[in-house]
Structure 1
Amino acid sequence: MPFALHERLAADTLPVAELGLCTLLLMQDHRFPWTILVPQRPDLRDYHDLPREDAMQAFDEVTLVSRAIADEFGAHKLNVAALGNQVPQLHIHVIGRFAEDDAWPGPVWNAGPVENPNLALVEDWRERLRTRIG
């Protein structure tokens, strides 16, 4: 079975880049620089489902994106998580956090759904990430 992006991830995000293993996505939420990495392998639910080589590659790509968010946006803290409670496809969140953001110090999920997202800002973030990651 070929890789296909889960419909919820496709609806909630914008594509940023294709990395070596993962598709890099950006949530359409102007409150946080919130990226999602999705390994381009079919039928993955949890991190331990990745073959060892892919797991190491995913780790390297999470590190790359984490550094890009820290450097580009000056995040005070980076949250990295692979939950999968609502979307069963393996995906890894890398989120830049700030002491003044809408959810601080709690998880971004406590901020509730974004209302009237500033898509121009999100698009600017996407281009900045594309430029930084290359």
Structure 2
Amino acid sequence: MTSIELWAIGIVAVVIAGIVGFLIGRRQPVGSPEQLKQLTEAHERQLSQTQAELDAYREEVHSYHEKTANLFVSMAAPYKEMFDHLTEGYDKLGNFTERKVLPDRAGALLDGPDANKHIPPVLTEDLKLNPDYTKVNPTAAQKDY
């Protein structure tokens, strides 16, 4: 065989492979309804799986925050009870008229030193004179923690 015959056989083989590839490619077009249906179903399965994972995560986060809130509430009650006990003993047993160490309410310990700046002095004095004032006007003072 000569080199011209080899080139001719190679060219014919490439042409035949091209025609066969073209015919196979035309049998199933790229955007056929069957392919689109399969792709849509696959995407919907993936979407529903992702949505289920997101819902499970949200439920886990909700449960975590609910448990945290419950633990905080169960922890805060004994601290408030202890503060009330200490305040009662401080007022009853101590003679500390010049300098008061404990604040009037337990939540004031968490408020910090600048907590009463936003309450007008008149309201602060009204609260000291009339502890039930907050029941009539709940916005007058901060909530007791």
* Range into which the TM-score falls when normalised by the shorter chain: under 0.3
Q: TM-score, normalised by structure 1?
A: 0.24
Q: TM-score, normalised by structure 2?
A: 0.23
Which has the larger strand fraction? 1
Identify which of structures 1 and 2 has the higher relative contact order when contacts are C-alpha pairs closer than 8 Å and 6+ apart: 1
Which has the larger helix fraction? 2
Compare CA radii of gyration and give the structure with the larger one.
2
